[in-house]
Copies of this chain bind each other. A is one copy, B any other.
């Protein structure tokens, strides 16, 4: 990579490195800010409870491809991504704001479809759309969604508070969203090479739904509450298990052992991974976009968690010096590296 005297390429830092670089020296000015940059949402003291605020961007050609993403699904997913961040703080979402920039390639009807998906997600999760900004872009579509939520002060869960011996748990199953993406990309390229071919998506319902219509796991939060379990740390899985467990361990100053044979992977995901000649565990670790919850609980809650359907214990927290490890099926400890799905997709990214 060429590098002139005063020019550092974005790719040299990567997304998280860039964020650290740009926000590393930030000092908070107002005592109301309990948590700024560095968790799933900001946490702000508003008196009786905490306000949660988060923002995600979705950019055409980077995060979505409209040749196979219905606009209604895109709208729905854009909201869900943000609500999932609120879930990861153990909070309840309340409002969203929408920023939308589009070129004149889009018609009013197309945008109505997008908003249908947005409103459908709002309806389902009892969230109000309260404002935003609509403008033009020179080309393509840019979506920016801000979600606001609330959490009782004694209920908030951060990334940074896992403790040695805590159990590491994950909701649902992993890797499906990424396999759905690979199938969509494959059918797109088949169609590109031979436009008389019809995309063959039969039998892939599960992984396609994982990619196109993810859901935030408020149902799991409700189950945890019912079982009287408060996670000791939590994050949502947007970039893949590897990246997220590293966030928890780095922020909590701990290590962990994750057991490969415990990681929940749906059969449909595993079959497709084999078809693509990729290890299913690689997809689960680095696939991303599953929007499941990764959380730690106290060892004493082990008996309670066992009975909760849809939660799997995949490992435990260790001290920092032990490192962040994947224990493979043959018992070898492999250090977990952050790749994230962005790396997997191998596009021209930060």
Contact = CB atoms under 8 A, between A and B. Distances in A.
A51 B55 contact: no
Interface string A313-349: 0000000000000000000000000000000000111
Which of A56, A139, A146 counts the most chain B CB atoms within 10 A?
Answer: A146
B42 A97 contact: yes
Contacts of A19: 134
Interface in A45-89: 46-48, 51, 53-57, 59-63
A105 B118 CA distance: 32
Interface stretch (A1-9, A270-278, A280-288, A301-309): A1-9
Contact of A142 (B35, B57, B132, B134): B57
A97 B54 contact: yes
A32 B93 CA distance: 12
B138 A59 contact: yes
A13 to B, nearest CB: 6
A279 interface: no
A47 B206 CA distance: 43
A14 to B, nearest CB: 10
Contact of A109 (B8, B56, B97, B127): B8
Contacts of A53: 95, 97, 130-131, 146, 148
A137 interface: yes
A29 interface: yes
A135 B22 CA distance: 13
Interface string A217-229: 0000000000000
A135 B63 contact: yes
A222 B51 CA distance: 27
B51 A51 contact: yes
Nearest to A46: B46
A96 to B, nearest CB: 10
Contact of A350 (B37, B62, B104, B131): B104
Main secondary structure of the interface of A (DSSP, over half): mixed
A99 interface: yes
Contacts of A112: 21-22
Contact of A59 (B9, B10, B95, B142): B142
B137 A59 contact: yes
Given A53-B131, A104-B350, A138-B140, 17 more contacts: A10-B102, A10-B106, A22-B111, A22-B115, A23-B129, A29-B126, A30-B94, A30-B95, A35-B130, A46-B47, A51-B148, A55-B146, A59-B101, A59-B137, A97-B146, A104-B348, A135-B350
Interface of A: 6-13, 15, 18-19, 21-23, 26, 28-30, 32-33, 35-37, 41-42, 44, 46-48, 51, 53-57, 59-63, 94-95, 97-102, 104, 106-109, 111-112, 115, 119, 122-123, 126-140, 142, 144, 146, 148, 347-350
The 3 closest A-B pairs by CB, nearest first: A42-B130, A144-B144, A8-B108
14 contacts: A7-B109, A15-B135, A26-B119, A29-B123, A30-B94, A30-B126, A36-B130, A36-B131, A42-B130, A47-B47, A59-B101, A59-B135, A60-B138, A135-B350
